[in-house]
Structure 1
Amino acid sequence: MTLTHDVAGKGPAVVLVHATACDRRMWDPQVPALVDAGYRVLRCDLRGFGRTPMPDRPYNNAQDVADLMDELGAEQAALVAASGGGRVALEFAARWPRRVTALVLLSTAWAGHEAGAELREFGRREDELIEAGDLAGATELNVRTCLGPQADDAAREKVRVMQRNAFEVQVAASEEVEPIRVETEVTEITAPCLLVSGHHDLADFRQIAARLADRLAHARHLELDWAGHLPSLERPDLVNPLLIGFLHGAHATI
Protein backbone atom coordinates (compact mmCIF):
# COMPACT_ATOMS: atom_id res chain seq x y z
CA MET A 1 0.00 0.00 0.00
CA THR A 2 1.27 3.47 -0.92
CA LEU A 3 0.97 6.12 1.76
CA THR A 4 -1.22 9.09 0.88
CA HIS A 5 1.22 11.83 -0.08
CA ASP A 6 1.89 14.94 -2.09
CA VAL A 7 4.95 16.35 -3.79
CA ALA A 8 5.88 19.95 -4.58
CA GLY A 9 8.88 21.77 -5.98
CA LYS A 10 12.16 20.80 -7.64
CA GLY A 11 15.62 20.23 -6.23
CA PRO A 12 17.11 18.06 -3.49
CA ALA A 13 14.43 15.96 -1.80
CA VAL A 14 13.09 16.75 1.66
CA VAL A 15 10.73 14.22 3.28
CA LEU A 16 8.41 15.53 6.01
CA VAL A 17 7.18 13.02 8.61
CA HIS A 18 4.34 14.22 10.83
CA ALA A 19 3.77 14.00 14.58
CA THR A 20 1.31 11.37 15.78
CA ALA A 21 -1.06 14.07 17.02
CA CYS A 22 -1.23 15.34 13.44
CA ASP A 23 -0.98 14.28 9.80
CA ARG A 24 0.80 15.67 6.76
CA ARG A 25 -1.24 18.89 6.98
CA MET A 26 0.89 19.97 9.94
CA TRP A 27 3.57 20.91 7.40
CA ASP A 28 1.35 23.37 5.49
CA PRO A 29 3.40 26.35 6.79
CA GLN A 30 6.70 24.73 5.75
CA VAL A 31 5.99 23.45 2.23
CA PRO A 32 5.88 26.81 0.37
CA ALA A 33 8.99 28.04 2.19
CA LEU A 34 10.94 24.87 1.34
CA VAL A 35 9.82 24.95 -2.30
CA ASP A 36 10.85 28.61 -2.59
CA ALA A 37 14.22 27.66 -1.07
CA GLY A 38 14.83 25.18 -3.89
CA TYR A 39 13.72 21.81 -2.52
CA ARG A 40 11.48 19.02 -3.76
CA VAL A 41 9.16 18.41 -0.81
CA LEU A 42 7.56 15.01 -0.16
CA ARG A 43 5.09 14.62 2.69
CA CYS A 44 2.93 11.67 3.59
CA ASP A 45 0.29 10.43 6.01
CA LEU A 46 1.48 7.44 8.03
CA ARG A 47 -0.93 4.51 8.39
CA GLY A 48 -4.02 5.47 10.37
CA PHE A 49 -3.47 9.20 9.95
CA GLY A 50 -4.89 11.77 7.55
CA ARG A 51 -6.09 9.99 4.41
CA THR A 52 -4.03 6.80 4.81
CA PRO A 53 -6.17 3.95 6.14
CA MET A 54 -5.27 1.70 9.04
CA PRO A 55 -3.08 -1.29 8.16
CA ASP A 56 -4.64 -4.67 7.48
CA ARG A 57 -1.40 -6.62 7.91
CA PRO A 58 1.90 -6.21 9.79
CA TYR A 59 3.76 -3.09 8.69
CA ASN A 60 6.74 -0.89 9.45
CA ASN A 61 6.55 2.90 9.18
CA ALA A 62 10.20 3.40 8.21
CA GLN A 63 9.86 0.79 5.46
CA ASP A 64 6.72 2.56 4.25
CA VAL A 65 8.66 5.81 3.92
CA ALA A 66 11.50 4.02 2.12
CA ASP A 67 9.01 2.42 -0.29
CA LEU A 68 7.42 5.81 -0.98
CA MET A 69 10.80 7.37 -1.70
CA ASP A 70 11.56 4.51 -4.10
CA GLU A 71 8.23 5.00 -5.86
CA LEU A 72 8.89 8.73 -6.25
CA GLY A 73 12.46 8.25 -7.45
CA ALA A 74 14.11 9.83 -4.40
CA GLU A 75 17.28 7.85 -3.77
CA GLN A 76 18.36 10.26 -1.03
CA ALA A 77 16.55 12.88 1.03
CA ALA A 78 16.77 15.09 4.05
CA LEU A 79 14.30 13.92 6.70
CA VAL A 80 12.38 16.48 8.75
CA ALA A 81 10.23 14.88 11.42
CA ALA A 82 8.26 15.78 14.52
CA SER A 83 7.44 13.88 17.72
CA GLY A 84 6.37 10.31 16.88
CA GLY A 85 7.45 10.93 13.30
CA GLY A 86 10.93 11.50 14.67
CA ARG A 87 11.01 7.91 15.93
CA VAL A 88 10.30 6.81 12.36
CA ALA A 89 13.03 9.08 10.97
CA LEU A 90 15.58 7.83 13.50
CA GLU A 91 14.89 4.22 12.51
CA PHE A 92 15.10 5.11 8.82
CA ALA A 93 18.39 6.98 9.23
CA ALA A 94 19.92 4.11 11.22
CA ARG A 95 18.82 1.41 8.76
CA TRP A 96 19.69 3.29 5.58
CA PRO A 97 22.24 5.96 6.56
CA ARG A 98 23.42 6.56 2.99
CA ARG A 99 19.92 7.59 1.95
CA VAL A 100 19.75 10.46 4.46
CA THR A 101 21.49 13.73 3.61
CA ALA A 102 20.35 15.60 6.73
CA LEU A 103 18.09 15.01 9.71
CA VAL A 104 15.95 17.58 11.54
CA LEU A 105 14.05 16.28 14.57
CA LEU A 106 11.50 18.52 16.27
CA SER A 107 10.51 17.39 19.78
CA THR A 108 11.33 13.87 18.73
CA ALA A 109 10.25 10.65 20.35
CA TRP A 110 12.81 7.84 20.58
CA ALA A 111 12.37 4.10 21.01
CA GLY A 112 15.33 4.09 23.40
CA HIS A 113 13.66 6.44 25.90
CA GLU A 114 11.84 5.26 29.01
CA ALA A 115 8.89 7.56 29.65
CA GLY A 116 9.02 9.78 32.72
CA ALA A 117 6.17 10.51 35.12
CA GLU A 118 4.71 13.39 33.09
CA LEU A 119 4.56 11.46 29.85
CA ARG A 120 3.21 8.32 31.54
CA GLU A 121 0.43 10.36 33.13
CA PHE A 122 -0.42 11.94 29.80
CA GLY A 123 -0.65 8.48 28.19
CA ARG A 124 -2.75 7.13 31.05
CA ARG A 125 -5.22 10.00 30.81
CA GLU A 126 -5.42 9.78 27.02
CA ASP A 127 -6.12 6.02 27.18
CA GLU A 128 -8.76 6.58 29.87
CA LEU A 129 -10.61 9.13 27.75
CA ILE A 130 -10.49 7.00 24.59
CA GLU A 131 -11.70 3.90 26.44
CA ALA A 132 -14.59 5.96 27.79
CA GLY A 133 -15.49 6.99 24.23
CA ASP A 134 -14.64 10.63 24.93
CA LEU A 135 -12.71 11.40 21.75
CA ALA A 136 -13.42 15.12 22.14
CA GLY A 137 -11.84 15.06 25.59
CA ALA A 138 -8.82 13.08 24.36
CA THR A 139 -8.44 15.53 21.49
CA GLU A 140 -8.50 18.55 23.79
CA LEU A 141 -5.94 16.88 26.06
CA ASN A 142 -3.59 16.66 23.09
CA VAL A 143 -4.25 20.24 21.98
CA ARG A 144 -3.45 21.53 25.49
CA THR A 145 -0.37 19.34 25.84
CA CYS A 146 1.16 19.76 22.40
CA LEU A 147 0.96 23.51 21.84
CA GLY A 148 2.98 26.15 23.64
CA PRO A 149 1.84 29.62 24.70
CA GLN A 150 2.69 31.28 21.38
CA ALA A 151 0.40 29.04 19.30
CA ASP A 152 -2.54 30.99 17.89
CA ASP A 153 -6.15 29.86 17.58
CA ALA A 154 -5.64 28.71 14.00
CA ALA A 155 -2.81 26.39 15.03
CA ARG A 156 -4.90 24.98 17.88
CA GLU A 157 -7.82 24.33 15.56
CA LYS A 158 -5.54 22.67 13.02
CA VAL A 159 -4.20 20.24 15.63
CA ARG A 160 -7.75 19.68 16.93
CA VAL A 161 -8.97 18.65 13.45
CA MET A 162 -5.99 16.40 12.70
CA GLN A 163 -5.97 14.67 16.08
CA ARG A 164 -9.73 14.07 16.11
CA ASN A 165 -9.52 12.57 12.62
CA ALA A 166 -6.73 10.21 13.73
CA PHE A 167 -8.68 9.07 16.77
CA GLU A 168 -11.81 8.42 14.71
CA VAL A 169 -9.92 6.41 12.07
CA GLN A 170 -8.02 4.37 14.65
CA VAL A 171 -10.98 3.66 16.95
CA ALA A 172 -13.12 2.57 13.98
CA ALA A 173 -10.57 -0.08 12.90
CA SER A 174 -11.96 -3.60 13.14
CA GLU A 175 -8.74 -5.00 14.56
CA GLU A 176 -5.41 -3.72 15.80
CA VAL A 177 -2.43 -4.74 13.69
CA GLU A 178 0.93 -4.71 15.44
CA PRO A 179 3.80 -2.93 13.70
CA ILE A 180 6.95 -4.81 12.78
CA ARG A 181 9.65 -3.80 15.23
CA VAL A 182 13.19 -3.39 13.90
CA GLU A 183 16.02 -2.97 16.40
CA THR A 184 18.42 -0.22 15.39
CA GLU A 185 21.34 1.72 16.87
CA VAL A 186 21.30 5.49 16.52
CA THR A 187 25.10 5.39 16.40
CA GLU A 188 24.70 4.06 12.84
CA ILE A 189 23.31 7.47 11.77
CA THR A 190 25.85 9.47 9.77
CA ALA A 191 23.83 12.47 8.55
CA PRO A 192 24.20 15.89 10.19
CA CYS A 193 21.35 16.29 12.64
CA LEU A 194 19.57 19.25 14.23
CA LEU A 195 17.61 18.36 17.37
CA VAL A 196 15.04 20.97 18.39
CA SER A 197 13.20 20.96 21.71
CA GLY A 198 10.80 23.40 23.36
CA HIS A 199 11.09 24.91 26.82
CA HIS A 200 7.32 24.55 27.34
CA ASP A 201 7.20 20.91 26.23
CA LEU A 202 7.08 17.85 28.50
CA ALA A 203 10.49 17.21 30.04
CA ASP A 204 10.83 13.85 28.26
CA PHE A 205 11.31 15.45 24.87
CA ARG A 206 13.97 17.87 26.06
CA GLN A 207 15.77 14.92 27.69
CA ILE A 208 15.57 12.86 24.49
CA ALA A 209 17.09 15.68 22.42
CA ALA A 210 19.94 16.11 24.90
CA ARG A 211 20.68 12.37 24.99
CA LEU A 212 20.60 12.01 21.22
CA ALA A 213 22.91 15.00 20.81
CA ASP A 214 25.47 13.09 22.87
CA ARG A 215 25.06 9.84 20.92
CA LEU A 216 24.88 11.06 17.31
CA ALA A 217 28.16 11.79 15.59
CA HIS A 218 27.15 15.05 13.87
CA ALA A 219 24.36 16.54 15.95
CA ARG A 220 23.53 19.72 17.78
CA HIS A 221 20.67 20.43 20.16
CA LEU A 222 18.77 23.70 20.10
CA GLU A 223 16.17 24.45 22.76
CA LEU A 224 13.64 27.14 21.87
CA ASP A 225 12.65 29.14 24.93
CA TRP A 226 9.23 30.06 23.44
CA ALA A 227 8.21 26.66 22.08
CA GLY A 228 5.99 23.79 23.12
CA HIS A 229 5.83 20.38 21.44
CA LEU A 230 4.98 21.53 17.89
CA PRO A 231 7.16 24.57 17.15
CA SER A 232 6.73 24.34 13.38
CA LEU A 233 3.01 25.06 13.84
CA GLU A 234 3.40 27.47 16.75
CA ARG A 235 5.85 29.89 15.10
CA PRO A 236 6.57 28.93 11.48
CA ASP A 237 7.99 32.42 10.95
CA LEU A 238 10.84 31.46 13.29
CA VAL A 239 11.17 27.76 12.47
CA ASN A 240 11.21 28.02 8.67
CA PRO A 241 14.42 30.10 8.46
CA LEU A 242 16.05 27.81 11.04
CA LEU A 243 15.08 24.74 9.05
CA ILE A 244 16.15 26.11 5.68
CA GLY A 245 19.43 27.46 7.04
CA PHE A 246 20.33 24.06 8.46
CA LEU A 247 19.39 22.21 5.25
CA HIS A 248 21.39 24.64 3.10
CA GLY A 249 24.41 24.15 5.35
CA ALA A 250 24.08 20.37 5.33
CA HIS A 251 23.74 20.17 1.55
CA ALA A 252 26.70 22.49 1.06
CA THR A 253 28.93 19.90 2.75
CA ILE A 254 27.77 16.93 0.64
Structure 2
Amino acid sequence: MSILHHRDEGSGPVVVLIHAGVADLRMWQTQVEELVPGHRVVRPDLRGYGHTPLEPGDPYTDAEDVLALLDHLGAEEFALVGASYGAYVALQLATAVPERVERLVLLAPLAEVAEPDDRLRDFWRREGELVEAGDLDTATDLNVATFVGPDAAEDARELVWKMQRGIFEHQVTTDHAEGGELPVDLARLTMHTTVVVGGHDLPFFVQTAHELVRALPDAELVELPWAGHLPSLERPLETAHLVRIGVG
Protein backbone atom coordinates (compact mmCIF):
# COMPACT_ATOMS: atom_id res chain seq x y z
CA MET A 1 0.00 0.00 0.00
CA SER A 2 1.34 3.43 -0.94
CA ILE A 3 1.71 6.05 1.78
CA LEU A 4 -0.66 9.00 1.42
CA HIS A 5 0.76 12.26 0.17
CA HIS A 6 1.08 14.45 3.24
CA ARG A 7 2.74 17.37 4.98
CA ASP A 8 4.54 16.83 8.30
CA GLU A 9 5.51 20.08 10.00
CA GLY A 10 6.71 21.25 13.40
CA SER A 11 7.55 19.33 16.56
CA GLY A 12 5.82 18.41 19.79
CA PRO A 13 2.50 16.61 20.41
CA VAL A 14 1.09 15.25 17.14
CA VAL A 15 -2.06 16.78 15.64
CA VAL A 16 -3.59 15.13 12.56
CA LEU A 17 -5.77 17.28 10.29
CA ILE A 18 -8.13 15.32 7.98
CA HIS A 19 -9.72 17.38 5.22
CA ALA A 20 -13.34 17.63 4.12
CA GLY A 21 -14.76 15.79 1.13
CA VAL A 22 -14.77 18.99 -0.95
CA ALA A 23 -11.16 19.84 -0.15
CA ASP A 24 -7.62 18.58 0.32
CA LEU A 25 -4.83 19.31 2.78
CA ARG A 26 -4.65 22.94 1.62
CA MET A 27 -7.81 23.76 3.58
CA TRP A 28 -5.80 23.72 6.81
CA GLN A 29 -3.03 26.22 6.00
CA THR A 30 -3.97 28.85 8.60
CA GLN A 31 -4.54 26.18 11.25
CA VAL A 32 -1.07 24.79 10.59
CA GLU A 33 0.50 28.21 11.02
CA GLU A 34 -1.20 28.55 14.41
CA LEU A 35 -0.46 25.00 15.60
CA VAL A 36 3.12 24.47 14.49
CA PRO A 37 4.61 26.48 17.37
CA GLY A 38 4.42 23.67 19.92
CA HIS A 39 2.86 20.91 17.82
CA ARG A 40 3.83 18.46 15.11
CA VAL A 41 1.10 18.76 12.49
CA VAL A 42 0.40 15.97 10.00
CA ARG A 43 -2.11 16.55 7.21
CA PRO A 44 -2.73 13.91 4.55
CA ASP A 45 -4.43 14.00 1.20
CA LEU A 46 -6.84 11.05 1.22
CA ARG A 47 -6.99 8.86 -1.88
CA GLY A 48 -8.43 10.77 -4.81
CA TYR A 49 -7.74 14.16 -3.22
CA GLY A 50 -4.93 16.63 -3.75
CA HIS A 51 -1.73 14.79 -4.67
CA THR A 52 -2.76 11.27 -3.61
CA PRO A 53 -3.92 9.34 -6.67
CA LEU A 54 -6.64 6.76 -6.90
CA GLU A 55 -5.35 3.41 -8.07
CA PRO A 56 -6.79 0.10 -9.29
CA GLY A 57 -6.57 -2.76 -6.84
CA ASP A 58 -8.14 -4.14 -3.69
CA PRO A 59 -10.70 -2.20 -1.65
CA TYR A 60 -9.32 0.21 0.94
CA THR A 61 -10.50 2.40 3.77
CA ASP A 62 -9.42 5.98 4.36
CA ALA A 63 -9.08 5.40 8.11
CA GLU A 64 -6.64 2.53 7.57
CA ASP A 65 -4.70 4.68 5.09
CA VAL A 66 -4.33 7.45 7.68
CA LEU A 67 -3.32 4.96 10.38
CA ALA A 68 -0.70 3.46 8.06
CA LEU A 69 0.68 6.97 7.48
CA LEU A 70 0.88 7.66 11.22
CA ASP A 71 2.61 4.34 11.83
CA HIS A 72 5.05 5.17 9.03
CA LEU A 73 5.78 8.52 10.71
CA GLY A 74 6.20 6.93 14.15
CA ALA A 75 3.30 8.84 15.67
CA GLU A 76 2.15 6.69 18.58
CA GLU A 77 -0.32 9.14 20.15
CA PHE A 78 -2.10 12.03 18.48
CA ALA A 79 -5.04 14.41 18.49
CA LEU A 80 -7.41 14.07 15.54
CA VAL A 81 -9.10 17.00 13.82
CA GLY A 82 -11.54 16.24 11.02
CA ALA A 83 -13.83 18.36 8.86
CA SER A 84 -17.07 16.96 7.41
CA TYR A 85 -16.16 13.64 5.74
CA GLY A 86 -12.75 13.94 7.39
CA ALA A 87 -14.53 13.92 10.76
CA TYR A 88 -16.17 10.62 9.78
CA VAL A 89 -12.74 9.21 8.97
CA ALA A 90 -11.52 10.49 12.34
CA LEU A 91 -14.39 8.70 14.13
CA GLN A 92 -13.50 5.44 12.35
CA LEU A 93 -9.82 5.82 13.19
CA ALA A 94 -10.52 6.71 16.83
CA THR A 95 -12.77 3.66 17.17
CA ALA A 96 -9.99 1.43 15.80
CA VAL A 97 -7.25 2.74 18.12
CA PRO A 98 -8.89 4.74 20.94
CA GLU A 99 -5.89 4.25 23.20
CA ARG A 100 -3.76 6.29 20.78
CA VAL A 101 -6.15 9.22 20.33
CA GLU A 102 -5.70 11.96 22.92
CA ARG A 103 -8.44 14.35 21.75
CA LEU A 104 -10.96 14.74 18.94
CA VAL A 105 -12.09 17.93 17.22
CA LEU A 106 -14.92 17.41 14.72
CA LEU A 107 -15.89 20.33 12.47
CA ALA A 108 -19.31 20.03 10.77
CA PRO A 109 -19.02 16.28 11.15
CA LEU A 110 -20.50 13.60 8.96
CA ALA A 111 -21.69 10.58 10.96
CA GLU A 112 -24.41 7.97 10.71
CA VAL A 113 -26.47 9.35 13.60
CA ALA A 114 -29.06 11.39 11.66
CA GLU A 115 -31.18 11.01 8.54
CA PRO A 116 -30.26 13.15 5.50
CA ASP A 117 -32.64 16.10 5.14
CA ASP A 118 -34.38 17.17 1.93
CA ARG A 119 -31.82 19.88 1.18
CA LEU A 120 -28.95 17.41 1.32
CA ARG A 121 -30.81 14.85 -0.79
CA ASP A 122 -31.60 17.56 -3.35
CA PHE A 123 -27.93 18.53 -3.46
CA TRP A 124 -26.89 14.92 -4.04
CA ARG A 125 -29.46 14.57 -6.84
CA ARG A 126 -28.39 17.77 -8.61
CA GLU A 127 -24.70 16.99 -8.24
CA GLY A 128 -25.21 13.48 -9.58
CA GLU A 129 -27.09 14.75 -12.61
CA LEU A 130 -24.36 17.27 -13.42
CA VAL A 131 -21.56 14.74 -13.02
CA GLU A 132 -23.44 12.20 -15.14
CA ALA A 133 -23.80 14.87 -17.84
CA GLY A 134 -20.06 15.63 -17.67
CA ASP A 135 -20.67 19.21 -16.52
CA LEU A 136 -17.99 19.19 -13.83
CA ASP A 137 -17.61 22.98 -13.75
CA THR A 138 -21.27 23.50 -12.83
CA ALA A 139 -21.09 20.62 -10.34
CA THR A 140 -18.14 22.40 -8.76
CA ASP A 141 -20.09 25.67 -8.66
CA LEU A 142 -22.90 23.83 -6.87
CA ASN A 143 -20.53 22.49 -4.22
CA VAL A 144 -19.09 25.93 -3.53
CA ALA A 145 -22.54 27.50 -3.29
CA THR A 146 -23.77 24.74 -0.96
CA PHE A 147 -20.85 24.35 1.42
CA VAL A 148 -19.03 27.70 1.66
CA GLY A 149 -20.60 30.07 4.17
CA PRO A 150 -21.28 33.80 3.78
CA ASP A 151 -18.20 34.96 5.70
CA ALA A 152 -15.71 33.35 3.30
CA ALA A 153 -13.41 35.65 1.37
CA GLU A 154 -13.22 35.38 -2.41
CA ASP A 155 -9.80 33.68 -2.30
CA ALA A 156 -11.26 30.98 -0.02
CA ARG A 157 -14.11 30.38 -2.45
CA GLU A 158 -11.61 30.14 -5.30
CA LEU A 159 -9.53 27.63 -3.33
CA VAL A 160 -12.56 25.43 -2.61
CA TRP A 161 -13.47 25.60 -6.31
CA LYS A 162 -9.97 24.47 -7.32
CA MET A 163 -9.87 21.69 -4.73
CA GLN A 164 -13.32 20.34 -5.63
CA ARG A 165 -12.67 20.54 -9.37
CA GLY A 166 -9.49 18.54 -8.86
CA ILE A 167 -11.39 15.95 -6.85
CA PHE A 168 -13.84 15.48 -9.71
CA GLU A 169 -10.92 15.00 -12.09
CA HIS A 170 -9.46 12.32 -9.80
CA GLN A 171 -12.64 10.47 -8.98
CA VAL A 172 -14.78 10.72 -12.12
CA THR A 173 -12.18 10.03 -14.78
CA THR A 174 -10.01 7.38 -13.04
CA ASP A 175 -10.52 3.62 -12.86
CA HIS A 176 -9.91 2.86 -9.20
CA ALA A 177 -10.50 0.50 -6.29
CA GLU A 178 -13.61 0.95 -4.18
CA GLY A 179 -13.30 2.63 -0.80
CA GLY A 180 -14.86 1.12 2.31
CA GLU A 181 -15.41 2.06 5.94
CA LEU A 182 -14.36 0.88 9.37
CA PRO A 183 -17.04 0.57 12.07
CA VAL A 184 -17.72 3.50 14.40
CA ASP A 185 -18.48 2.76 18.07
CA LEU A 186 -19.14 6.03 19.89
CA ALA A 187 -19.05 4.32 23.30
CA ARG A 188 -15.34 3.56 22.76
CA LEU A 189 -14.51 7.22 22.20
CA THR A 190 -13.90 8.31 25.78
CA MET A 191 -11.35 10.99 24.89
CA HIS A 192 -12.50 14.61 25.16
CA THR A 193 -14.25 15.64 21.95
CA THR A 194 -15.10 19.09 20.65
CA VAL A 195 -17.94 19.14 18.10
CA VAL A 196 -18.27 22.31 16.02
CA VAL A 197 -21.19 23.28 13.79
CA GLY A 198 -22.17 26.42 11.91
CA GLY A 199 -25.43 28.30 11.98
CA HIS A 200 -25.53 28.45 8.17
CA ASP A 201 -24.82 24.74 7.64
CA LEU A 202 -27.32 22.26 6.24
CA PRO A 203 -29.83 20.93 8.80
CA PHE A 204 -28.37 17.42 8.50
CA PHE A 205 -24.99 18.54 9.82
CA VAL A 206 -26.54 20.60 12.61
CA GLN A 207 -28.56 17.60 13.75
CA THR A 208 -25.55 15.32 13.42
CA ALA A 209 -23.48 17.58 15.67
CA HIS A 210 -26.15 17.61 18.37
CA GLU A 211 -26.64 13.83 18.18
CA LEU A 212 -22.91 13.21 18.48
CA VAL A 213 -22.63 15.37 21.58
CA ARG A 214 -25.50 13.46 23.17
CA ALA A 215 -23.96 10.09 22.31
CA LEU A 216 -20.26 10.61 23.02
CA PRO A 217 -19.06 10.02 26.59
CA ASP A 218 -17.12 13.31 26.94
CA ALA A 219 -18.13 15.89 24.35
CA GLU A 220 -18.84 19.60 24.15
CA LEU A 221 -20.73 21.45 21.42
CA VAL A 222 -19.43 24.70 19.93
CA GLU A 223 -21.95 26.51 17.74
CA LEU A 224 -20.69 29.18 15.36
CA PRO A 225 -23.61 31.35 14.25
CA TRP A 226 -21.58 32.90 11.41
CA ALA A 227 -20.30 29.63 9.91
CA GLY A 228 -21.39 27.50 7.00
CA HIS A 229 -19.91 24.05 6.43
CA LEU A 230 -16.22 25.01 6.22
CA PRO A 231 -15.38 27.34 9.13
CA SER A 232 -11.64 26.71 8.78
CA LEU A 233 -11.81 28.48 5.41
CA GLU A 234 -14.54 31.01 6.23
CA ARG A 235 -12.88 32.54 9.30
CA PRO A 236 -9.49 30.79 9.27
CA LEU A 237 -7.83 32.49 12.24
CA GLU A 238 -10.85 32.22 14.53
CA THR A 239 -11.20 28.55 13.69
CA ALA A 240 -7.47 28.01 14.17
CA HIS A 241 -7.73 29.33 17.73
CA LEU A 242 -10.69 27.04 18.35
CA VAL A 243 -8.78 24.01 17.03
CA ARG A 244 -5.74 24.88 19.13
CA ILE A 245 -7.89 24.96 22.28
CA GLY A 246 -9.58 21.71 21.27
CA VAL A 247 -6.36 19.73 20.82
CA GLY A 248 -4.83 21.08 24.03
TM-score over 0.5 (shorter chain): yes
Q: Could you tell me how far 1:238 is from its partner in structure 2?
A: 1.1
Partner of 1:12: 13
**Distance of 2:113 and 2:179 partners within structure 1:** 17
Q: Could you tell me how far 1:235 is from its partner in structure 2?
A: 0.2
Cα offsets for 1:223-250 (capped at 9, x unmatched): 10000000011001211111112222xx
**Distance of 2:15 and 2:182 partners within structure 1:** 24
Q: Which runs of 5+ in 2 are unaligned?
A: none
> Is the 8 Å Cα contact of residues 92 and 181 (structure 2) preserved in structure 1?
no
Q: Could you tell me how far 1:29 is from its partner in structure 2?
A: 1.2
Query: Structure 1 residue 49 and structure 2 residue 49: aligned?
Result: yes
Q: Could you tell me how far 1:173 is from its partner in structure 2?
A: 0.8
Partner of 2:123: 122
Partner of 2:139: 138
Cα offsets for 1:172-226 (capped at 9, x unmatched): 1124x32233323111111110000000010110100000000001101111000
Partner of 1:23: 24
Cα offsets for 1:37-94 (capped at 9, x unmatched): x100000000000000113221011111110000000011100110011110011111
Aligned-partner SS, 2:21: coil
Partner of 2:241: 241
Partner of 2:91: 90
> Is the 8 Å Cα contact of residues 104 and 193 (structure 2) preserved in structure 1?
yes
Q: Tell me the TM-score normalised to structure 1 length.
A: 0.94
Partner of 1:193: 193
Partner of 2:224: 224
Aligned-partner SS, 1:75: coil
Q: Could you tell me how far 1:19 is from its partner in structure 2?
A: 0.2
5 Å-filtered alignment, 1:200-215, equals: 200-215=200-215
Partner of 1:73: 74
Cα offsets for 1:74-118 (capped at 9, x unmatched): 011100110011110011111110111000000010134331111
Aligned-partner SS, 1:229: coil
**Distance of 1:217 and 1:70 partners within structure 2:** 27
Partner of 1:167: 168
Amino acid of the residue matched to residue 141 of structure 1? Answer: L
Amino acid of the residue matched to residue 218 of structure 1? Answer: D
Query: Structure 1 residue 34 and structure 2 residue 35: aligned?
Result: yes
> Is the 8 Å Cα contact of residues 95 and 185 (structure 2) preserved in structure 1?
yes
Cα offsets for 1:149-172 (capped at 9, x unmatched): 100101000100000000011111
Q: Could you tell me how far 1:24 is from its partner in structure 2?
A: 0.5
**Distance of 2:42 and 2:209 partners within structure 1:** 25
**Distance of 1:230 and 1:88 partners within structure 2:** 16
Aligned-partner SS, 1:241: helix
**Distance of 1:180 and 1:234 partners within structure 2:** 30
Partner of 1:109: 110
Q: Could you tell me how far 1:20 is from its partner in structure 2?
A: 0.6
**Distance of 1:246 and 1:184 partners within structure 2:** 21
**Distance of 1:144 and 1:101 partners within structure 2:** 35
Aligned-partner SS, 1:28: helix
The size of the alignment, in residue pairs, is 246
**Distance of 2:196 and 2:98 partners within structure 1:** 20
**Distance of 2:211 and 2:197 partners within structure 1:** 12
**Distance of 1:120 and 1:170 partners within structure 2:** 20
